[in-house]
């Protein structure tokens, strides 16, 4: 560390050493050329200049050469010193930028670990509370207690990780609320509404704010606990099983955002059929999912989540909803890729342009539009159907 400090360049505030003062150097740079061009002068002075000029021209030339060499010599220490200082500052900035990037990556990793740790603590606390509540009267120690039954209970010990995943990659609760707010008018007068895969309860909260009675279900126990903690109605349940247990024509609306891509094809078709029976006449169903036809959404949002089962093309999901008997089925595309993130066309150069250049630009821009139509369109879409 001591060697590194001794080899480091001087601080930015130190002044590089000069052979002369700054003011003197400026004047020297301005006056080194001793030649004075002729101006308005008398006839006598003009004759003297013609007689003496050839004799003095050589001396002036030598003096100018000498002056230029002296000024260049005086300038050299300043330019060399500032060049070295500039290079030193550039190297220091590069080191600081590298350290900043490393700190930013470490901060992001630490933030994720803290969030997972918090969710782990909450999950363990809830599991312990359930074990204590299930312990038979008079039993002593773990032999008399009974843990959660079935794979759903044991799997819930890892469910906190998906809560952290939602926080990290899908967006904050404020972001999700803003994204889902435009769906609320579709359910005006449709109470009660069932949200399948309610997650952290953002849409349930929006419906409550709109005066629409709603409840949610989710397989993830930790998600349900987070939703309940906000005073919302949520149940840990599987969608088809829950709907099958309800009387026909119970709900006025069914909503599922980012759920259907988690289901196997046969289970998805069963869910849509069951939802059809449980909606009352005039009820609405909205299924939002990742737009697999947008390559950016597929290769980023879809592939990032390891719980995704099957990507659904908009035409496919629309067909399945229609085939189950829904009417007035439409597709609403959402979350467009920002214009700045799309491929940019090339403008024609100003002035006269040859036909060959114009054709080349037109062909290039046509390919840009074609690629934008595949790569950078809408990240999500929703299929909306009525019974």
Report whether pLDDT(380) > 90.
Answer: yes
In this predicted structure, the answer to whether residue 137 has a pLDDT above a threshold of 70 is: no
Alpha-carbon gap, residue 22 to 19, rounded angstroms = 9
| Beta-sheet strands, E only, within the chain | 193-196, 214-218, 234-236, 251-257, 279-290, 327-336, 378-386
Contacts 24+ apart (CB under 8 A), 58-61: 60/34, 60/35
177-200 pLDDT tens trace: 999 999 999 999 999 999 999 988
Q: Comparing 44-53, 233-242, 288-297, which segment has the lowest mean pLDDT?
A: 44-53
pLDDT at residue 142 above 50?
no
Interatomic CA distance for residues 259 and 249, integer angstroms: 22
Alpha carbons 112 and 160: distance in angstroms, whole number: 12
Is there a contact between 235 and 217 (Cβ–Cβ < 8 Å)? yes
Q: Check residue 4 and give its pLDDT.
A: 42
Q: What is the pLDDT of residues 290-299, one digit of tens each?
A: 999 998 888 8
pLDDT value, residue 154:
34
pTM over 0.85: no
pLDDT beyond 50 at 18: no
The three-class DSSP label of residue 381 is strand
Lowest mean pLDDT: which of 84-98, 281-295, 310-324, 352-366? 84-98
Given this model, what pLDDT does residue 138 score?
Answer: 40
329: left (phi over 0), alpha (psi -120 to 50) or beta: beta
Q: What domains can be seen in the chain, in order of their start residue?
A: 24-34+45-112 (no CATH), 168-386 (3.40.50.150)
Question: Which three-class secondary structure string do you get for 222-291?
Answer: HHHHHHHCCCCCEEECCHHHHHHCCCCCCEEEEEEECCHHHCCHHHHHHHHHHHHHHEEEEEEEEEEEEC
């Amino acid at each position: 560390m001591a060697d590194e400090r001794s080899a480091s360049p001087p601080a930015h505030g130190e002044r590089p050493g000069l052979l002369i003062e700054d003011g003197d150097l400026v004047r020297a740079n301005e006056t080194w050329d001793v030649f004075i061009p002729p101006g308005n002068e008398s006839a006598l002075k003009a004759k003297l200049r013609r007689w003496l000029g050839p004799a003095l021209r050589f001396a002036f030339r030598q003096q100018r050469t000498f002056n230029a060499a002296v000024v260049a010599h005086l300038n050299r220490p300043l330019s060399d010193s500032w060049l070295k200082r500039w290079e030193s500052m550039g190297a220091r900035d590069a080191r600081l930028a590298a350290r900043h990037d490393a700190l930013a990556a470490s901060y992001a990793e630490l933030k994720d670990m803290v969030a997972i740790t918090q969710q782990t603590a909450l999950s363990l606390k809830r599991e312990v509370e359930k074990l204590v509540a299930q312990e038979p009267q008079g039993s002593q120690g773990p032999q008399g207690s009974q843990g959660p039954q079935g794979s759903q209970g044991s799997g819930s010990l890892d469910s906190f990780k998906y809560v952290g995943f939602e926080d990290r990659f899908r967006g904050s609760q404020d972001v999700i609320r803003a994204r889902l707010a435009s769906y609320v008018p579709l359910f005006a007068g449709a109470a009660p509404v069932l949200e399948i895969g309610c997650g952290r309860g953002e849409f349930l909260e929006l419906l409550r704010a709109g005066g629409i009675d709603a409840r949610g279900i989710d397989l993830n126990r930790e998600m349900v606990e987070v939703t309940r903690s906000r005073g919302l109605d949520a149940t840990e349940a599987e969608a088809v099983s829950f709907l099958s247990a309800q009387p026909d024509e119970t709900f006025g609306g069914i909503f599922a955002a980012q759920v259907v891509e988690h289901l196997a094809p046969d289970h998805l078709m069963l869910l849509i059929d069951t939802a059809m029976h449980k909606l009352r006449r005039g009820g609405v169903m909205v299924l939002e999912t990742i737009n697999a036809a947008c390559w950016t959404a597929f290769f980023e949002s879809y592939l990032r989540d390891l719980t995704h089962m099957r990507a659904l093309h908009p035409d496919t999901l629309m067909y399945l909803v229609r085939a189950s008997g829904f009417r007035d089925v439409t597709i609403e595309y959402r979350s467009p890729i920002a214009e700045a993130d799309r491929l940019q066309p090339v403008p024609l150069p100003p002035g006269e342009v040859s036909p060959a250049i114009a054709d080349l630009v037109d062909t290039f821009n046509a390919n840009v539009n074609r690629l934008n139509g595949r790569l950078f369109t809408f990240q999500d879409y929703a299929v909306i159907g009525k019974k």
